[in-house]
Amino acid sequence: MQEVSGRAMANARDDCGCEPRIEGRRLVVDATDCPRRGHLAASPVCRASVVGTLAGRPVASVRIRIEGGTYVHDDGATALLIAAGRFVPLAVEHDHALAARTLRDPLGAARVAAGRGGSLAELAATTGLIEGARRVASYDDAFAARSATELNSLTSASAIPAMLHDIDDPGDLSPDELRARYDQRLREVIEGYGAETVADEGGVPSEPVTALAGGESPDLTLEEAAAILATSETEPDAEAIVLETRDHLLMGMSTAVLDVEAVESGIDGALDAREIQQKIEGRLPMSLDELATIHGYIEERKP
């Protein structure tokens, strides 16, 4: 597999400036310097770059960043890429050329594998490559880019997994209302996986998890809430959730032209400026109630 992907990736680098990396459970492709702008529908070398990165590493979504915007590919495209990444290391022992082709042309490789029958067809079926190819008619169909800003994270199946800061109109909500929205997001994960599983896998005490499941709003830190969210297969890991939440607050302050003294004044001194700074930077723990207070005020002040 290393030989196949290494050679294909070397060839791809000659013509492609994409820089893919895994962030939590997302594949993010920085195509700023790519002459093909990460256009997976038209560029085999860009597809090779992405599939090679995904080999053995499933993700929940694929984002392409180019100058001027970020684009998200839908579930069908993501499933095809993940399946291709699974198929390549298994197929290389049977057909080196087909494994190499899969990096650049997963749709074509799926058709060839299905037509060959035998072990290759079985591998293509078990990895999901054949099913992934059946779900899309063409690369243009699979990789039609959609602006991330056009997607509603609460309703679109192709959106980036919603995290704590992804709340509709948070600036119009009171801190208590915003905290209730956080709780509901956590409760959905608990209902889907079970309180015991969430507590065990998230490393969170069972008492607050059980309390959330029962409709209560227990004391929780941002880190504990992130650990609960991260037990969902569609969410990034806990660290990524925490970092993105903090980054969102800092970017919001910049957009709203606020410093920590202004936030202190805006939240009526519920926290002093130094505490606000340290909590946003992660030097002090931040409770979900404090997050709701700070988050809501920042959003309210955005132009």
| Residue pLDDT, tens place only, 90-130 | 898 889 999 999 999 999 999 999 998 899 999 998 888 99
99 within some domain = yes
Q: Do 43 and 125 belong together in one domain?
A: yes
Q: Do 205 and 130 belong together in one domain?
A: no
What does the block give as tokens for 262?
């202004």
Q: Do 146 and 174 belong together in one domain?
A: no
From CA 59, how far away is CA 161, in angstroms rounded?
11
130 within some domain = yes
| Residue pLDDT, tens place only, 17-76 | 899 988 766 788 999 889 888 889 899 999 999 999 988 776 767 888 887 677 777 777
pLDDT at position 261 is 95
Q: Do 6 and 146 belong together in one domain?
A: yes
Q: Do 133 and 9 belong together in one domain?
A: yes
| Residue pLDDT, tens place only, 204-223 | 999 999 999 999 999 999 99
Q: Do 216 and 296 belong together in one domain?
A: yes
Q: Do 126 and 222 belong together in one domain?
A: no
Put simply, whether the predicted model's pTM sits higher than 0.95 gets the answer no
Q: How does the average pLDDT of the chain come out, rounded?
A: 84
For residue 117, what are the contacts with CB-CB under 8 A and spacing of at least 6? Answer: none
93 within some domain = yes
Q: Do 251 and 139 belong together in one domain?
A: no
Q: Do 186 and 291 belong together in one domain?
A: yes
218 within some domain = yes
Enclosing domain of residue 245: 170-301
Q: Do 186 and 109 belong together in one domain?
A: no
Positive/negative CA dihedral, 178, 183, 184, 186: positive
41 within some domain = yes
